[in-house]
Amino acid sequence: MTRIYIAGHRGMVGSALVRVAKQRGYSEILTRTHQELDLLNSQEVDKFFAVEKPDWVFLAAAKVGGIYANDTYRADFLLENLKIQINVIESAYKHNASKLLFLGSSCIYPKNAPQPIKETDLLTSELESTNEPYAIAKIAGIKLCGAFNSQYGTNYISVMPSNLYGIGDNYHPENGHVLPMLLRRFHEAKLNNDQTVTVWGTGKPKREFLFADDMAEACFYLMENYQAADIGELINIGTGEEISIRDLAYLIKKVVGYEGEIVFDTTKKDGTMLKKMDVSRLEKLGWKYKLTLEEGIRETYNDFINNPDVRL
């Protein structure tokens, strides 16, 4: 029986991994809250691994935040993420975990990477400055997994998901990502009978979105079927398809059932015009996402309206 430890199980990604693990028949799933296990404390982490001895480790725990937090608390984001990664990866090796999967972030790639972004674009030019400390920590985690594989023959896989959304997302009206933030905005406009909803920018930028449970399915697919040596240092997980922010807004309007008008505030900056992942490596390995964007948004909206805790 495979014992699975999911670090960061209460976040959107971690909770998706827990759901998919259960769906796939895994019964020995280890989780710990921050109060139960401080991943910044190397002694606590080592003790946990010594006692529980997980076979597989999914490292989804991280210190995360929006642009303001990333740019303001630069030392905290670098230091805390490095500590979490070092403690978990080193303890996994020390206590003989047979496999580990490390989750990266799209910010690891250069800010001006060619489109679609390939795994080989890593470290080819400079990073986006606002979240550079977080990105450097994630890159260090990828490199640490690769170094263990090279030196000790471990089987540590690093994956890079595209923009994720789904059950348990962050719906904060200002600090959330674009999809859940718009979902909340349209929902509240519907309740308040507002005549218009404002979307920042021209609506022209394009983004790629992946439902978190599909991402978790891809992670388990890789863990069950492949070795790190078969995959390379890093593998992208995504749909390989993009949608404009304008079309996304109209799709969310349709799902929510909002009947007013959409206004695009062109005085606001658009940001990067295109950010798409090259997922050909993953598709060649035999995995493809299941849910369409509309289906995923419906699942997410259902979570939003039925789970009051996520709307805080």
Cβ distance 231 to 285 under 8 Å? yes
Exposure pattern of 19-34 as b/e (b: 16+ CB <10 Å)?
Answer: bbbeeeebeebbbbee
Could you say which DSSP state residue 258 is in?
-
Q: For the CA atoms of 120, 123, 129, 134, what is the dihedral angle to 10 degrees?
A: 90
Contacts of 242 (CB under 8 A, 6+ apart): 206, 207, 208, 274, 275, 276
Contacts of 189 (CB under 8 A, 6+ apart): 196, 197, 258, 260
| Catalytic site includes residue 134 | yes
Instruction: Determine what percent of the chain falls in helix, strand and coil, rounding each to the nearest 5.
Output: 45, 15, 40
Cβ distance 45 to 67 under 8 Å? no
Cis peptide leading into residue 116 (ω within 30°): yes
Phi, psi values for residue 235, rounded to 5°: -140, 130
Q: Which residue has the tokens 């240092």?
A: 233
Cα–Cα dist 167/157, whole Å: 25
Q: How many CB atoms lie within 10 A of CB 152?
A: 9
Q: Angle of helix 293-306 relative to helix 178-191, nearest 10 degrees? A: 60
Q: Please name which of 188, 181, 182, 180 lies closest in space to residue 211, comparing C-alpha atoms.
A: 180
Among 5, 109, 134, 171, which one carries the catalytic annotation?
134
Q: How many CB atoms lie within 10 A of CB 1?
A: 7
Catalytic residues: 134
